[in-house]
């Protein structure tokens, strides 16, 4: 088990494109379990091309979690387990909304465990009121001009409206 300076540290990796209230809920809950939680914002993935830049997504997450003193936000441009080890993390926290999330995340946890035995994967189930919210769903509604204010922090809703007015086919 890795403990940095006697403190229990975990990462919470994701694309956060955009950060949702469901993400914020998972981050808040995870921050109570660890001395330090690093929200690691990935540059992107092979599955999807983000509509917001890494710097924009980091800024959105930072503003969304500014009330949490033990949370840091960092870019993630490396293999997630290498990033976790470099940070001194003992765990990765992943939020789960549905069985389909578990299916994918369980496979990733097995791959990550093979690559780094010292890093655990911890799953937090989504709170019921956020269990249907996904970044992809938010992007889809926003692209069609629908309201997303109930699903994302206010600053993110404003950025989505502005981005989608400029380029409704983004993402």
Q: What is the pLDDT of residues 31-76, one digit of tens each?
A: 999 999 999 999 876 667 899 999 999 999 999 999 999 999 999 9
Please check whether residue 97 is in contact with residue 129, taking contact to mean a CB–CB distance below 8 angstroms.
no
pLDDT digits (tens, 9 = 90+) for 125-146: 999 999 999 999 999 999 999 9
CATH of domain 9-131: 3.40.50.620
- For residue 99, the model assigns a pLDDT of 87
State the pairing for strand pair 9-14/36-42. parallel
Q: How confident is the model at residue 1 (pLDDT cuts 50, 70, 90)?
A: very low
The active-site residue out of 74, 97, 113, 161 is 97
Report whether pLDDT(95) > 60.
Answer: yes
More confident residue, 85 or 99: 85
Please check whether residue 84 is in contact with residue 11, taking contact to mean a CB–CB distance below 8 angstroms.
yes
Please check whether residue 52 is in contact with residue 19, taking contact to mean a CB–CB distance below 8 angstroms.
no
Radius of gyration of the chain (CA): 16
Known catalytic residue at 97? yes
The active-site residue out of 23, 57, 83, 139 is 23
Question: Contacts from 140-143 at CB under 8 Å and sequence distance 24+?
Answer: 143/168, 143/169, 143/170, 143/171
């Amino acid at each position: 088990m890795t403990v940095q300076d006697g403190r229990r540290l975990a990462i919470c990796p994701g694309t956060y494109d955009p950060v949702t209230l469901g993400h914020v809920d998972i981050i808040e809950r995870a921050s109570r379990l660890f001395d330090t939680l690093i929200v690691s914002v990935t540059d992107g993935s092979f599955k999807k091309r983000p509509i917001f830049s890494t710097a924009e997504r980091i800024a959105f997450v930072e503003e969304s979690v500014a009330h949490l003193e033990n949370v840091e936000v960092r870019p993630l441009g490396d293999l997630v387990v290498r990033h976790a080890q470099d940070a001194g993390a003992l765990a990765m926290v992943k939020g789960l909304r549905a069985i389909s999330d578990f299916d994918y995340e369980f496979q990733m946890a097995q791959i990550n465990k093979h690559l780094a035995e010292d890093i655990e994967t911890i799953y937090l189930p989504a709170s019921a009121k956020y269990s249907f919210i996904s970044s992809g769903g938010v992007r889809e509604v926003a692209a069609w001009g629908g309201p997303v204010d109930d699903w994302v922090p206010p600053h993110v809703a404003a950025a989505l409206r502005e981005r989608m007015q400029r380029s409704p086919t983004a993402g």
